[in-house]
Structure 1
Amino acid sequence: MLDDVVAGHAGGVVVAIGRDGEPVRFCAAGRADTRGTPLEPDDAFLVASITKTFTAVTVLQLVDAGAIALDDPVARYVPDAPLVDGVTVRQLLDHSSGIPDYAAQPQLSSAVLADPARSWTPQEALAAVAGLDRDFAPGSEHEYSSTNFVLAGLVVEKVTGRSLAENLRTRITAPLRLTTTALAPDGPEPVTAFSQELGPDANSEKTPLHSLETVAWAAGGIVSTAQDLTTFFRALAAGELLSPAAMDEMTDFQGRSGFGLGLWRVRLPTGPGYGHGGDLPGFDSFAAVREESGDVFVVLSNEDDLVPHQFKRAVFRAW
């Protein structure tokens, strides 16, 4: 089925499926670069907004340690950040802050794509929303905004006195032995991305990903593999990363969109679960787990046109 899906496309897909405690099965089809190198199941991808789950786990570990409370005001930690007055840490993680999405601002998107080698700071990304009004009063609605997780990353750095990359390494990737997962550009080199948004050559071999990786940061800058993502989500579901109380908070899904704290409510073929998805030019990702059984599902693509919702449904049917 995967071979049929990628036929005629520049890129490819990697899929991981684990059911009923069985070993995870990995499949790959398509190309990893412009030379036609076949994609392998252990290839690395920029996993985009799946990063938000890692960032949320880091924040909740600090909650477990008593260093942060979910209902603390964000302004206590980052008082100079835009639009944070009256917003709590919880409202960042469940997208109820009302702060507009910096990634949806056309001027910022144009600047990021116009200079692909530029390094962006979190403060530069946040400047894109500094002059805007809130979308709604904090806590009154839920609306997805990557700005929330850039702010959450800054809160982590302020509280710990260490970089977000170091926190992710010491708190998550090293304990779980996720050897191919890190915040870009420190992680492994991802496979070639194929996207018309990347310019006239439409691939990341000609157009660097550095600006995209750095502007995404705590909201979307992690590079990982299907193997590492299955390990991470199964460990999360098994209670290896957070206390039961923190997991209860994380999986308290709110609003029509079913937002938890850095998670979405998801229905797998075997029943309800949770996970997260993401996309950046040239990359599409999705990962989910069912807590009761440890069933896990990951799909990664390196071409914009390869992972529409119809394809994910086809993979579910194949499950």
Structure 2
Amino acid sequence: MNAAAQPSGPSTRRRTIGIVAGLVVVVSTLAWFALRPPSSSAPAPAGTTPAPVRGPQADAVARVVQQAMASDHLKAAIVRVTIGGKVVAMQAFGDSMTGVPATTDMHFRNGAVAFEYVSTLLLEYVDEGKVRLDDTVNTWMPDLPEAKTVTLRMLTNQTTGYPDFETDPGWTAAYNADPFHQFTFEERLKDAFNRPLQFAPGTNWSYSHTNFMILGHILSQIGGAPLDRLLQEKVLGPMGLTQTTAYDTATVPEPALHAYSSERRSALGIPPGMSFTEESTYWNPVWGTPIGAAETTTITDMTTTAVAVGTGKLLSSKSFHAMTDSHLIGFGTRMPACGGSCFPQSDAYNYGLGVVLSGSGQLQNPLLSGYSATEAYLPSQKVAVAVATTFLPGAFDVNGDYDNASDRLFREIATALVPDDAPPFGPPRKN
């Protein structure tokens, strides 16, 4: 949104589920210091968790993560890396809660990773001949603005011009007042369209949760069933995901990775000099994804997702290339109407169909409610990386803003393991 119209509460960037934040490698001025041993060396909680993988590549990953724990003020980090299907690193670092070590079997929010599942479902329907990407949305939602112009493709590649309900000052105030509130589809539509379109459909690019909220609603009509059931039957199950589940509440299955946030600092009137975080594990995340696609997952399912999406496991070759080819590099321009959410697409960050493209890689990198998580696939050497992090108070600035540490950590891990195909680091961007 226009800076002049910024709400008085926390900026919306922190709650943006799938947007790149802080891609530049930050050279820390903090001295390297000894960290507590990885959580796997501590007594395990009830149940079992796999022992950390050993070897030179695992050691290289551990060194990168240990440095990030200090420089990025991380409370916990869970990492899994596969190369050619072989697990070369899998380890948890730090604490979920004070005195409760993080473990590699913990569940956490996956945010915009669900956009990849939703896009896959759409493309399966394209492959089945049920719809075309250039079908307009008036068939299913005729009352939407520009419904005879906006297409399914535009919803999926973020070029509709539809305002993001999450940037509406009224929505932000309601969220800050009650982060446990479950925003309905109707509430989100109202908050999205009480402002004019940001631009004419197809003429610019802007990250908007509104697009995928509408796409999910349309897919449930095409499939004739609730979206969560369609995703489970046609995407999650066939991908081999066993721990990724949709909820219509703020549930996180046990064992849960706990999260902490400072993003309500301004709304609560916390003085800038006071250290502040609050437990955000059970804030309701249903607002950010389509109804039926608010999910939790594990680090193993995240790497499985990276491989399935990155290889087009469930799609025809044509649909796979439509999803993952870089069609938008150079497209887009900054506009006051959409604030930081409009920007030119670049090699470091460009949008496919529900997937972020960076260099040769495909990824999603959600950042919400104190969770940061990234899953990515580098096809040239068949590398899949999954990272989930939570934060200490030092990660948040005086406004409660924080960077996407998992995205930066993925890039640093990839650089250490496959320097010849390392993903690019682009300029930092705020939403």
Fold shared per TM-score above 0.5: yes
Matched, 1:217 2:289: yes
Decide whether the 8 Å contact of 1:93 with 1:148 is kept in 2. yes
TM-score norm. by structure 1 comes to: 0.88
Q: 2:237 aligns with which of 174, 177, 180?
A: 174
The aligned amino acid for 1:314 is: E
Q: Return closer, same or farther for 1:236/1:313 CA change in 2, 3 Å cut-off.
A: closer
CA contact (8 A) 2:283 2:369 kept: no
**1:316 and 2:414 aligned:** yes
Q: 1:153 to 1:238 in 2, by over 3 A?
A: same
| Equivalent residues of 2:166, 2:172 under 8 A apart | yes
Return 5+ residue gaps in structure 2 as ranges: 1-62, 266-275, 330-344, 396-402, 418-431
SS of the residue aligned with 1:151?
Answer: helix
Quick one: which of 224, 243, 248 aligns to 2:321?
248
Instruction: From 75, 99, 102, give the equivalent of 1:11.
Output: 75
Given that 1:51 and 1:221 are in contact with CA atoms closer than 8 Å, whether structure 2 keeps it comes out as yes
1:188 to 1:195, Cα distance in 2 relative to 1, 3 A? closer
Could you tell me which residue of structure 2 aligns to residue 204 of structure 1? 280
Aligned residue in 2 for 1:192? 258
Summarize the Cα distance change of 1:45–1:154 in structure 2 as closer, same or farther, 3 Å threshold: same
Match of 2:351 in 1: 259
Q: Equivalent residues in 2 for 1:83-102 (5 A)? A: 84-102=147-165
Q: Which amino acid aligns with 1:36?
A: G
User: 1:284 corresponds to which residue?
Assistant: 372
1:52 positional shift: 1.1
Aligned counterparts of 1:3 and 1:134: Cα–Cα separation in 2: 45
Q: By how many angstroms is 1:135 displaced?
A: 1.3
Aligned position for 2:422: none
RMSD: 2.5
Deviation at 1:61, TM superposition (A): 1.1
3-state DSSP of counterpart to 2:86: coil
Pair 1:312–1:249, CA change in 2 (3 A) = closer
Deviation at 1:176, TM superposition (A): 2.8
Structure 2 partner of 1:236: 309
CA distance in 2, matches of 1:19, 1:229: 14
Give, in angstroms, the shift of residue 253 of structure 1. Answer: 2.0
Note if contact 2:385-2:410 (Cα within 8 Å) is conserved in structure 1.
no
Letter in 2 for 1:204: S
CA contact (8 A) 2:109 2:296 kept: yes
**How many equivalent residue pairs?**
310
Residue 9 of structure 1: CA displacement?
Answer: 4.7
How do 1:37-48 and structure 2 match up within 5 A?
Answer: 37-48=100-111
Q: Check conservation: 1:82, 1:126, Cα contact below 8 A.
A: no
Question: Is 1:47–1:300's contact at 8 Å kept on the other side of the alignment?
Answer: no
In structure 2, the partner of 1:65 is 128
Aligned to 2:337: none
1:300 aligns with 2:388: yes
For the 8 Å contact 1:180–1:188, the answer to whether it is kept is no
User: Helix, strand or coil for the counterpart of 1:75?
Assistant: helix
Aligned to 1:27: 91
Most deviating of 58-67 and 194-203: 194-203
The answer (yes or no) to whether the contact 1:45–1:302 under 8 Å persists in 2 is no
Aligned residue type for 2:76: G
**For residues 69 and 48 of structure 1, do their structure 2 counterparts lie closer, same or farther at Cα, with a shift above 3 Å needed?**
same
Structure 1 residues 83 and 124: CA distance shift in structure 2, 3 A: farther
Gaps spanning 5+ residues in structure 1: where? none
**Match among 249, 270, 273 for residue 361 of structure 2:** 273
Secondary structure of the residue that 1:247 maps to in structure 2? helix
Pairwise CA distance, 1:90:
0.2
Give the secondary-structure state (helix, strand or coil) at the position aligned to 1:174: helix
* Aligned-pair CA distance for 1:24: 4.6
Q: 2:220 aligns to what?
A: 157
- 1:122–1:217 CA contact under 8 A, matched in 2: no
- In structure 2, the CA distance between the partners of 1:313 and 1:296, relative to structure 1 (3 Å rule), is closer
Distance in 1 (alpha carbons) for counterparts of 2:325 and 2:92 = 34
Aligned residue identity for 2:278: A
Q: Which amino acid aligns with 1:90?
A: R
d(CA) in 1 for partners of 2:140, 2:278: 40
Q: How far did 1:255 drift? A: 2.4
1:195 CA displacement = 0.5
1:83/1:99 contact within 8 Å kept: no
Structure 2 letter corresponding to 1:162:
A
Which residue of structure 2 aligns with residue 109 of structure 1? 172
Change in CA separation of 1:76 and 1:120 when aligned onto 2, cut-off 3 Å:
same
Deviation of 1:146 after TM superposition, in Å, equals 1.4
Deviates more, 1:77-86 or 1:87-96: 77-86
* Aligned counterparts of 2:288 and 2:316: Cα–Cα separation in 1: 28
The residue matched to 1:28 in structure 2 has which SS? Answer: strand
1:279 and 1:17, CA in 2 relative to 1: closer, same or farther beyond 3 A? same
Question: For 2:74 and 2:315, how far apart are their aligned partners in 1?
Answer: 40
Q: Partners of 1:300 and 1:10 in 2: how far apart?
A: 10
The correspondence for 2:187, drawn from 79, 104, 124, is 124
Distance 1:307 1:40 in 2: 21
Distance in 1, Cα, partners of 2:201 & 2:146 = 10
